[in-house]
Structure 1
Amino acid sequence: MFQCITGVKEERNHPIWLSHSSAQRKSILHPIQGRRRRIKLLEKMIMLSLLFMTVALAVMIVFLVKLLTKGNFSRNLMDVGKGRISVFRLFYSVQSDSRNFGGEIVADVLKAHGVKWVFTLCGGHISPILVSCEKNDIRVVDTRNEATAAFAADAVSRLGEPIGVACVTAGPGVTNTLTAVQNAQMAQSAVLIIGGATSYLLKGRGSLQDIDQIGIMKPVCKHVVSVSRVRDIAPTLRKAIQIARSDVPGPVFVEMPVDALHPIHVVEAEMKLNRKPNSIRGYLIHWQAAKFYHCTIHSFAFQNRFMELYLSRLFSDAWKPTDVAPLPVKYKKASSFQVKSCRDLLTRSKQPLIIIGGQAMLLPDRIQDLVSALKVINVPCYCNGMARGLLADAEHIQMFHKRREALKEADLVILAGAACDFRLDYGRSLNPEAKIIAINRSNALLRQNVNVFWKASIFLQADPCDFIIQLADSLSDVAAYVQPEDWLRRLKSRDQQAEEDISKLAKTELTSPGINPIALLRNIEELIPKDAIIVMDGGDFVGTAAYVLKARGPLKWLDPGAFGTLGVGAGFALGAKLCHPDLPVWIIFGDGAFGFSVAEIDSLVRHQTPVIAIIGNDNGWAQIQRTQISLFGSSIGCVLSPAIAYEKVAEGFGAIGFAIDSSNANELNKMITSIKDQPRAAFVNALIGRTNFRDGSVSI
């Protein structure tokens, strides 16, 4: 019967058991099952008690060891008893009298990583970082908007610095960077955003500017992390910078609570901790405080002890020597077998083509090797984004126009860091019969839209710069590599014809009054020095400029990239001029885009970064307006005021300002000559008309 009750299946079929009614069975089972539950509960309680006793014993042992190692045993006990030190200080190594603070550690790490500038808009949460950077000879460059600070950090990263750094205050300071951070992510730019934050204790309690910054930044960053202890600042920053620079570079976000950045005595004073009273009056005050906070003396004391525990943990081992040196940067490389397979396709090709994306510029120290390798391979190349200007001294293989036609005719296309996104019509621009070799650090971009609109013969998740150099080296093993000279000449002839066609458009009639924008840009092309860095920020005017202006060399062209962001101009120019103070920096603005940068004229003037800006002013969002009118017959929302004197606005901020229109356009050369050596930023408000040059371009 007992076996039957305890659940043995065979015994449940016993005649005696089956003879009982359901109620009788329940009456038999109920007390036995109840006893079994009580036995199990007792066993759990015994196990928990043993576990608790073990933990308590371990804590006591640690407590005694800490007491003994801190010096005189009786003195430590007396200090704890008198309230001179918190009991938690016996568990943590805390230097209560230290005047060091977390902001100094941040500056030390940045200095060790070769950071020369920190871009910022000041805020109370981040003051310790900015002050420490100043002491460490890291230049603090403050802007008028946090987005500009992040854009400037993006620019210095693209131009070859180890990493760009922007430090912004909590809440709106962080959220103001979102567009710029997303732009950096899509441009694969290594940027570190340091965001201030409220104390960890006050998170979610209604503190000033307290929001879920980690949750907000996570979708647009490669890595997000929040520091909770001072001693974690250095390793957290080192790891974040390594992640930002490795594999596919991108932005990272490190949240720094305000109490982790200030000295311990400041944080302790702000906590208003109450030590054990040493007089009758002190006890009375303590009692009144407890009544005021609607709690008992014991609960008030508990809160006090909890705060002491938090403080001790926050500053434990904070000032122990720590490594701040950079961690190694990692990225994948193509194997020799993969390179050989690609070489075989290249040597069999009659009409090969290389599309070089900005990702090929991520190794600035190897750019000249990349140029030499492309000269050895000697096939037509189109350079996109940051790769513009890569082949400035190898024009015989660099093509600018008629890319779609060339892609349809090519029998081999090498996508070196270029993705099949909207810029390649999602892969539809490629010849479906051609062999495709795709090289990209990002596996997602490597296979973007594959088997939908295109297919590849070889996929390589590797650095495109390294791959091209390896491919050129492998050609030395080929007895007779036949270079496609006829194919090169045909594409070059077509390219030159396109240039002539654009030149003719400089003389065509306009659809609205003003300077012919193509004529203006051709004039600017002649005026821009051969060593200048060109920054592009706009829609229709900049889209036209991309056909006319030529990048002056490697890493001398800055545009937003795949995100198509407006408002990058001032930030990019600020970063570029700081990186290369001896090089001219020119900005090509559309009048709509310039509106995002107006206040930053102050930043350019204040930081003594003389740039020359051309504003193509057609008093509207022409790129959108054109399509909107053709589709819907309305220009609603696309028209700007024609009366804005941008040159006067620039002068109001202390810059140089000029205006030109169709009546004095021929004076541009004289104006540029007069301002090019000035120590101040200069802005030219060019009143342009409109042409049909970009009819058919759709901004979606």
Structure 2
Amino acid sequence: MDGGQIVAAALKAQGVTFLYTLVGGHISPILVAAQQRGIRVVDVRHEATAVFAADATARLTGIPGVAAVTAGPGVTNTLTALKNAQMAQSPVVLLGGAAPTALRGRGALQDMDQMALLRSVVKWSAAARRVRDLAPMLHTAFEQAQSGVPGPVFVECPIDLLYAEPVVRNLYGAQRGGRSLGARLLQAYLRWHVNRLFAGVPANPVQAPRPIAPALPSAERVAAAAAALQKAQRPVILIGSQALRTPNQAADLAGALTAIGAPVYLSGMARGLLGRDHALHLRHKRREALKEADLVLLAGVPCDFRLDYGNQISRRARFISVNRSRDELARNRRPEIGIQADPGVFLRQLAAHKFDGERWTPWLAQIQARDRERNAEIAVQAETPTASINPLHLCREINAALGPESIIVADGGDFVATASYIVQPPGPLTWLDPGPFGTLGVGAGFALAAKLCRPAAEVWLLYGDGAAGFSLMEFDTLVRHQAPVIAVIGNDGGWTQIAREQVEMLHSDVATVLAQSDYHRVVEGLGAVGLRLDDPELAAETLAQARQVAATRPVLVNALLGKTDFRKGSISM
């Protein structure tokens, strides 16, 4: 096998089914060999999209997502997406092309120090220098991406390791003649260099992957947490994305939370874990509940800006934190009981202890009443007339249109944050947002991966009109790869989440104003179907039409929104 075939064989052995890429000469052997081995090669229009799609694939399948990009600008274009995966703790493997090994530092095409550039945004990185390095390096990359705190990794694959040996010898001119002493010495060096590149490759270079076991909590720590919970009168459990790192165990995790019986708030990838109507699942007024609770259990959630750096938790409450990361376990707020372990495993073990959920009934009823009150407020606000369409009304119509197998992809600021209060994921692993890095531009890559990984699911991509500008061109990708998603742009003609505070605090809307452009016409030019929505009375009808179209083709609803003060004062620092 040449190097490209070795890489493809290693990916196949790891269970990889999709390879996301933007083609480049440095990586062509990998793409061709992957296709020959039955891995679906999905080519996109920007390298960041390839990494975003790999990120979403990892979240939905539990197998590291893989992207391959060409050298130089191909690698640099992935930086934001890699950092997003790092912050979201997604196991992603990035394969990057590189200049020929003998020409590094001599002005070769797209040659640069890629390792130094990526070191701060990946968990682990390595550069192959011989063909025999490729398989063991990839084996290690997959282990590193999944072990401990998951994250992105980078493997640099120079072009001369990927092509067949005769091609590489010709590339270096190692077989060319020459009479001068200098020419003969150069020929001898190049022959030695090529011989070294291809030496020592075993007949069967690819190893079988080893299962990655999650960090297990000690029985003593689980028992201590159980004892504290059994004594609590007003407990709150907050679940984060880490608890869903093993997707096929989501149903067991939901069952464990039901058995425990304490009120639950869900965040990140955990949204939808308990379905839409579970009695223990609370959605609103989380800050108030955390302040009133006498015990707070964070399962895979750090005390970062989303919890006001731990200040949302009452200082009088007993505080338990479970996290894969030692750093996140005690960041900003040290727990009384800290457990460095997989939160999903911990919760399943915790459920083995007996709890009397009925003693928490008055507390649960109190916060359920607040949920109902907030839902009633939102319903009233949704009926308030605005120019064009009230965004709350549109979100309620989207929520009503969702089927039981729908997946929601969130890519935006103000409109998407509004939707997060109203649009309810129907089940586990049906909500995809960027995570704590707050990255705009994830939408098309996430939606593409969701549709490929779950072809039967109805994928809804909720775009802000600002965020849509990062990846609207990927509708070309969705059309070519027959990934019929439903996109809805909340088009209010601005960067509204920023404008809310900037205008009030600095008295200027500079750089926050956009045109309410005809985005539906853009996607029509790329082969998709575009629908314009500017009448609230037609919202349900237009969304129904979009669902019909999405049976076969990608569709975008360009929904013209009016302004509301629903999220006034929502700035985050």
Q: TM-score, normalised by structure 2?
A: 0.98
Q: Do structure 1's residue 494 and structure 2's residue 370 form an aligned pair?
A: yes
- Residues 106-143 of structure 1 show CA distances to partners (whole Å, capped at 9, x for unaligned) of 11011111100000000000000000011001000000
Structure 2 residue aligned with 1:697: 570
Structure 1 residue aligned with 2:518: 645
Q: Do structure 1's residue 137 and structure 2's residue 38 form an aligned pair?
A: yes
CA distance in 2, matches of 1:566, 1:688: 20
Q: Which runs of 5+ in 2 are unaligned?
A: none
CA distance in 1, matches of 2:73, 2:359: 56
Structure 1 residues 373-412: aligned runs within 5 Å: 373-392=256-275, 395-412=278-295
Question: 1:624 touches 1:699 (CA, 8 Å); kept in 2?
Answer: no
Structure 1 residues 87-166: aligned runs within 5 Å: 100-166=1-67
Q: Quote how far apart the aligned CAs of 1:239 are.
A: 0.6
Q: Which runs of 5+ in 1 are unaligned?
A: 1-99, 278-285, 291-296
Q: What letter corresponds to residue 137 of structure 1 in structure 2?
A: G
Q: Quote how far apart the aligned CAs of 1:695 are.
A: 0.6
Question: 1:375 touches 1:394 (CA, 8 Å); kept in 2?
Answer: no
CA distance in 2, matches of 1:578, 1:310: 42
CA distance in 1, matches of 2:276, 2:175: 72
Q: What letter corresponds to residue 665 of structure 1 in structure 2?
A: P
Indicate which of 347, 351, 366 corresponds to 1:472: 351
Structure 2 residue aligned with 1:448: 331
Q: Do structure 1's residue 585 and structure 2's residue 464 form an aligned pair?
A: no
- Residues 574-622 of structure 1 show CA distances to partners (whole Å, capped at 9, x for unaligned) of 0000000011000110000001111101001110000111100011101
Q: Quote how far apart the aligned CAs of 1:200 are.
A: 1.4
Indicate which of 336, 340, 360 corresponds to 1:461: 340
Q: Do structure 1's residue 628 and structure 2's residue 502 form an aligned pair?
A: yes
Question: 2:261 touches 2:357 (CA, 8 Å); kept in 1?
Answer: no
Q: TM-score, normalised by structure 1?
A: 0.80
Q: Quote how far apart the aligned CAs of 1:482 are.
A: 5.7
Question: 2:62 touches 2:245 (CA, 8 Å); kept in 1?
Answer: no
Question: 1:377 touches 1:483 (CA, 8 Å); kept in 2?
Answer: no
Q: What letter corresponds to residue 570 of structure 2 in structure 1?
A: S
Please state whether the residue corresponding to 2:149 is helix, strand or coil: coil
Question: 1:417 touches 1:464 (CA, 8 Å); kept in 2?
Answer: yes
Q: What letter corresponds to residue 549 of structure 1 in structure 2?
A: V
Structure 1 residue aligned with 2:319: 436
Structure 1 residue aligned with 2:438: 564
Q: Do structure 1's residue 668 and structure 2's residue 539 form an aligned pair?
A: yes
Q: What letter corresponds to residue 502 of structure 1 in structure 2?
A: I
Indicate which of 395, 398, 401 corresponds to 1:527: 401
Q: Quote how far apart the aligned CAs of 1:408 are.
A: 0.5
Question: 1:227 touches 1:256 (CA, 8 Å); kept in 2?
Answer: yes
CA distance in 1, matches of 2:572, 2:23: 36
Q: Do structure 1's residue 212 and structure 2's residue 95 form an aligned pair?
A: no
Q: Which of structures 1 and 2 has the bigger CA Rg?
A: 1
- Structure 1 window deviating more from structure 2 (513-522 vs 532-541): it is 513-522
Structure 1 residues 230-249: aligned runs within 5 Å: 230-249=131-150
Q: What letter corresponds to residue 495 of structure 1 in structure 2?
A: D
CA distance in 2, matches of 1:353, 1:376: 14
Structure 1 residues 191-230: aligned runs within 5 Å: 191-230=92-131
Indicate which of 232, 250, 267 corresponds to 2:151: 250
Q: What letter corresponds to residue 90 of structure 2 in structure 1?
A: S
RMSD (Å) for aligned C-alpha atoms: 1.4
Q: Quote how far apart the aligned CAs of 1:319 are.
A: 4.7
Question: 2:26 touches 2:99 (CA, 8 Å); kept in 1?
Answer: yes
- Structure 1 window deviating more from structure 2 (315-324 vs 435-444): it is 315-324
- Structure 1 window deviating more from structure 2 (309-318 vs 402-411): it is 309-318
Question: 2:305 touches 2:572 (CA, 8 Å); kept in 1?
Answer: no
Question: 2:43 touches 2:477 (CA, 8 Å); kept in 1?
Answer: yes
Structure 2 residue aligned with 1:309: 192
Question: 1:115 touches 1:162 (CA, 8 Å); kept in 2?
Answer: yes
CA distance in 2, matches of 1:211, 1:223: 19
- Residue 333 to residue 483, structure 1, CA distance change in 2 (3 Å): farther
Q: Do structure 1's residue 518 and structure 2's residue 392 form an aligned pair?
A: yes
Q: Do structure 1's residue 177 and structure 2's residue 78 form an aligned pair?
A: yes
Question: 1:347 touches 1:481 (CA, 8 Å); kept in 2?
Answer: no
Question: 1:238 touches 1:327 (CA, 8 Å); kept in 2?
Answer: no
CA distance in 1, matches of 2:448, 2:41: 13
- Residue 482 to residue 526, structure 1, CA distance change in 2 (3 Å): closer
Indicate which of 552, 555, 561 corresponds to 1:688: 561
CA distance in 1, matches of 2:325, 2:273: 22
Please state whether the residue corresponding to 1:473 is helix, strand or coil: coil
Structure number with the bigger relative contact order (C-alpha 8 A, sep ≥ 6) is 2
Indicate which of 605, 612, 625 corresponds to 2:486: 612
- Residues 624-682 of structure 1 show CA distances to partners (whole Å, capped at 9, x for unaligned) of 1111110111101011123x211111111111111111xx3322332333332331100
CA distance in 1, matches of 2:274, 2:351: 16
Q: What letter corresponds to residue 691 of structure 1 in structure 2?
A: T
Q: Quote how far apart the aligned CAs of 1:101 are.
A: 1.2
- Residue 481 to residue 668, structure 1, CA distance change in 2 (3 Å): closer
Q: Do structure 1's residue 264 and structure 2's residue 161 form an aligned pair?
A: no
- Residue 445 to residue 600, structure 1, CA distance change in 2 (3 Å): same
Question: 1:123 touches 1:168 (CA, 8 Å); kept in 2?
Answer: yes
Structure 1 residue aligned with 2:384: 508
Structure 1 residues 52-71: aligned runs within 5 Å: none
CA distance in 2, matches of 1:330, 1:225: 23
Structure 2 residue aligned with 1:67: none
CA distance in 2, matches of 1:215, 1:482: 56
Please state whether the residue corresponding to 2:215 is helix, strand or coil: coil
CA distance in 2, matches of 1:684, 1:481: 44
CA distance in 2, matches of 1:481, 1:159: 31
